[in-house]
Structure formats: C-alpha cells, structure tokens
Amino acid sequence: MSTLIQTLMGEIDRLPTERLFGRVASVRGLVIEIGGVQGNLSVGDRCRVLTRDGGTVTCEVVGFRAGHALLLPFGGLDGIGMGCRAELTESAPMLRPSADWLGRVINAFGEEVDGKGPIPLGETAYPVRTQPPPAHKRQRVGGKLDLGVRALNTFLTCCQGQRMGIFAGSGVGKSTILSMLIRHSRAEVVVLGLVGERGREAREFIEDDLGEEGLARSVVVLATSDESPLMRRQAAYATLTVAESFRDQGRNVLCLMDSVTRFAMAQREISLSAGEPPASKGYTPTVFAELPRLLERAGPGVPGTGSITGLFTVLVEGDDHNEPISDAVRGILDGHIVLDRAIAERNRYPAVNVLRSVSRTMPMCNTDDQNALVNTARQVITTYEDMAELIRLGAYRPGSNADVDAAIHYYPMIEAFLAQAKEEATDLETGYRMLRQILETQPAADAGAPSGS
Ligand SMILES: Nc1ncnc2c1ncn2[C@@H]1O[C@H](COP(=O)(O)OP(=O)(O)OP(=O)(O)O)[C@@H](O)[C@H]1O
Ligand SMILES: [Mg+2]
C-alpha cells in the first residue's frame, strides 16, 4: 500500500502548477507548427491541440524550425486551424500495466481495443520510453527457453533473455511462426506487439492464430498500418514497457514484435516530417539510433528480476538480406533466424534456413553431445545442398562418395523433421531425441554414416 501512496505522491509532485500554451502558426502536411512556447519544449514532449469543434488532438514535438516547434499528431488533423490553442501536457507518457492485462488487446496508449471493457490499471507507472538496464548490472542470459518449434529448439536454441531476429521477405511465414511461438513456447508470459500490420490481418491473427489459449497468457499491443506513425512507433515502445513490467515482477517474458521494419518505417516518416535528411534507402540517421535503443530493452534483467526474451520479425524487402534495416538489426541482436522463400515454395514450413541462421548463445547452452548432434545434421544439409543440382540431374553416381551417399539418405528425414504443422508442438528433449533417432538410422549397406557422428 505504501508503494501506491508513494507513487501517487510522486505523481502529484509532477503535476504542473501552471498551464503553458502556444498557438498553431501553420500546418504543412501532417506537421503542425506552433509558436509562443517553443522555449519551453523539447523533442519528445507532448502537447494537446484544442480543435475548433471542441475536441483535442494529442501531439508530440518532433523538431524545431525557424522559431516554431514542429508537432506530429497521434490522430487526425481535422478541426485544427490557425491560432488554435496548443497546451503543454504534463510528464513523460506512462503505462500502468498489471497482471489483469493478460488476455487483452490494447493500443499504444494502453487503452482497450478488444471491446472487452476498460483496462484495469496496475499500481506502478512505467515510462513508455526508457533506457535498458546498464549492461554491467544485467544478469547473463539464463537457461534454455523451450520454444515448442523443432527447427528452432534444436538448430537455433534460444536462452532466456536472448534477442533474436526473424528475417524473411513478405509472405514467407513470419507471422505464422510467431503464432506457433505464442501457443507452443514454455514462456510464462508473452507480450506481442503488432506494429503497422494490416487491420484485417491483425484481427484474423488474434482470433484464429492465437486462439483463446494463446491469448490467455499474452498481452497484445496493436497499432495497425492506418494509424499515425507516432502511434505505430509508440506501440513498439509500449510492447517493451509491458514486457518490462512483467520482468520486474520476476517473470520470464517472451516479447514478440511483428515487425521491427514497420517500427523503422514509422520512425522514418517522423524524422522526414521533421526535416531530417535521409541517409540510407530513405531511412534517416535517427532510425539507426532508435533501433538499438528499442531492441536493447529486451534481454536479461538486473538481479532479482526476470528476463525478456525478444523475437523480432524483420521484413526483408525484395528478399535482399543486406538492405539497411536487416543489416542494422542483425548487428544488434544475439542471433538471426532466416526464413527462406525457396524453402517455403517447396512447401516446407516453417521455412527456416538452418544454414543461414545462427543463435550466438547456442554453443554455450548445449551439452557437447547436443552440439555434436546438431553439427552432424548441419553437415548433412551442407553436403546435400552442395550436390543438390547434380543429384537432381541424376549426374551423381551413388557409391562415389560416402559422405554424399549418407547425405542422400539422411537429408529427406531431416527435412521432414524441420517441417512442423502450425498446431503441432515439440518440446526441447523430444526434438533432440527425434534428431538423434534420424541420425542413428543406417544408410544403405554401401554408404557410410555421416562424418562427425
Ligand atoms: N507453418 C505453416 N504451415 C503451413 N503454411 C504456412 C506456414 N507458415 C506459413 N504458411 C503459409 O504462408 C503464408 C504466409 O504466412 P505469413 O502470413 O505468416 O507470412 P508473413 O511473412 O507474416 O507475411 P507478411 O510479410 O505479409 O506479413 C500463409 O498464408 C500460409 O499459407
Ligand atoms: Mg506477417
């Protein structure tokens, strides 16, 4: 109770004693310029613009130009005209998450969007934008997290507090793999940010793919593609904020975001409106500064708290894995899962390309035996794929090379192992057992076992 009183007292202290306001001086595109209070504002501050018809539009300061503050609206611009009053609002934006948020869908402001009634507020206010815990105070990544998906559990084992990217072109199965993680992983709590998704898809995803059981242990933060760039960007921040609140209660949280690319695009729109010159592919330098600030918030907590395991999807435009956002995100995270269009086209889902994917913590968290097993399986895939053309053309003569013969034997079984239906879950131990059983089968008499096993 005393913490509640302390929090309330703190908030009362922060309440402004006077209300400052400026006036709208011009509106250009989505940018509102206000004059009169620019000396009291800084980037990131909030204002409330009072519209002609008596409504209010919440805006954020995104820059300054020629003696005016530049504001972007969270909603539409209807009713805003010259001379409208723009009031400064109090302290930094906060959310008050609570355990009752599980099973709910909220917007970037923590308001309900699922029609299930008001969202109950927790005791502690968490800032929407905050710094990650200092690196030297953070715990190290914890034990393995069972993700329920064979291809990831065995070939790309993920630890508690690890951050991974899921990279794929459009329509290769990013959202589907996330829905599998929500339903099949052993995480205590899931926080899912749907940032810049099409409205129809978001609804179908929540109702069909998550289903009741998936939703029951999740909080979904939703900003659809038709919402303003500020809302989309804030939805990404809010996702991390909700995850942090559960982490601070000692929970091990799985934080998923679909997609980081849309967050980057929202930031690009915001920066360009404020007049920042574009750098790479139209993305502004601020985008590349904001990405690590967002993604670093996931990870292990300080001692005494839980962890946030982060899996973030990245839309790889034009299947070019070197485009700037993919490149930047890959450099920040502790691993990447690559979904490959060629694999999806031959109908093997999830279309994880295990050779191009990597989990940087995996060699440390696995036993030697498990590492050896996975290396052998990788070797089989490499050998097969190197020879695939020749094998398909019938130009390879069985018996010419023992490793290739073994690969021809094991490869189809490993492919079948990597395929997994959406509804199917496989835990960590079962995954390793299945892989071991495959590699223990004997190839035809004239071929040897795969080297390294
Ligand atoms: N595990 C799976 N089993 C069967 N089909 C799948 C699976 N995963 C993906 N698909 C197929 O791929 C299609 C696209 O998947 P999904 O919507 O997950 O892709 P995405 O990468 O999120 O696309 P976008 O870039 O448009 O968001 C699905 O409609 C489905 O037909
Ligand atoms: Mg998708």
pLDDT of residue 303: 92
Is the model more confident about 187 or about 442? 187
Could you tell me which residues come within 8 angstroms of residue 359 by beta carbon, excluding any fewer than 6 positions away? 156, 157, 158, 162, 164, 334, 335
Query: Ligand 1 pocket test: which of 150, 170, 176, 346 has the largest number of ligand atoms within 8 Å of its C-beta?
Result: 176
Give the Å distance between the CA of 242 and the centre of ligand 1: 27
Is the predicted pLDDT of residue 15 greater than 90, yes or no? no
Closest Cα to atom 12, ligand 1: which residue? 173
Q: Which residue has the tokens 């223990």?
A: 440
Please work out whether the CB of residue 257 comes within 6 Å of at least one atom of ligand 1.
no
Q: How confident is the model at residue 413 (pLDDT cuts 50, 70, 90)?
A: very high
Please work out whether the CB of residue 424 comes within 6 Å of at least one atom of ligand 1.
no
Is the predicted pLDDT of residue 374 greater than 80, yes or no? yes
Nearest-5° angle of CA 202, CA 205, CA 207?
105
C-alpha closest to that of 187 among 255, 124, 234: 255
Give the Å distance between the CA of 180 and the centre of ligand 2: 13
**For residues 435-452, average pLDDT:** 69
pLDDT single digits (tens) 235-250: 999 999 999 999 999 9
Q: How confident is the model at residue 452 (pLDDT cuts 50, 70, 90)?
A: very low
Domains and CATH numbers, the chain: 19-89 (2.40.10.170), 94-363 (3.40.50.12240), 369-440 (1.20.1270.330)
Say which DSSP state 320 is in.
Answer: -
pLDDT of residue 453: 41
Spell 338-369 as b/e; 16+ CB within 10 A means b: bbbbebbeeebbbbbbbeebbbbbbeebbeee
C-alpha closest to that of 186 among 241, 253, 243, 242: 253
Give the Å distance between the CA of 134 and the centre of ligand 2: 33
Give the atom of ligand 1 at the shortest distance from the alpha carbon of 170.
25
Please work out whether the CB of residue 168 comes within 6 Å of at least one atom of ligand 1.
yes
Please work out whether the CB of residue 350 comes within 6 Å of at least one atom of ligand 1.
yes
Is the predicted pLDDT of residue 30 greater than 80, yes or no? yes
231: left (phi over 0), alpha (psi -120 to 50) or beta: alpha
- pTM (2 decimals)? 0.90
pLDDT single digits (tens) 110-127: 999 988 889 999 989 999
User: In the chain, what is the greatest distance between 2 CA atoms, to the nearest angstrom?
Assistant: 88
297 burial level (CB within 10 Å; 0-12, 13-18, 19+): buried
Is the model more confident about 136 or about 17? 136
Tokens representing residue 217 in the block: 């242990």
Is the model more confident about 19 or about 220? 220
**For residues 17-39, average pLDDT:** 86
Quote the crossing angle between the two packed helices 402-418 and 428-440, to the nearest 10°: 150
Give the Å distance between the CA of 183 and the centre of ligand 1: 16
pLDDT of residue 417: 94
Is the predicted pLDDT of residue 451 greater than 80, yes or no? no
Give the Cα separation of 236 and 223 in Å (integer).
Answer: 9
Q: Which residues, listed in sequence order, are joined to residue 127 by a DSSP beta bridge?
A: 94
Q: Please name which ligand lies nearest the alpha carbon of 339.
A: 1
pLDDT of residue 282: 87
**For residues 408-423, average pLDDT:** 93
Is the predicted pLDDT of residue 419 greater than 90, yes or no? yes
**For residues 142-148, average pLDDT:** 91
Please work out whether the CB of residue 198 comes within 6 Å of at least one atom of ligand 1.
no
Please work out whether the CB of residue 345 comes within 6 Å of at least one atom of ligand 1.
no
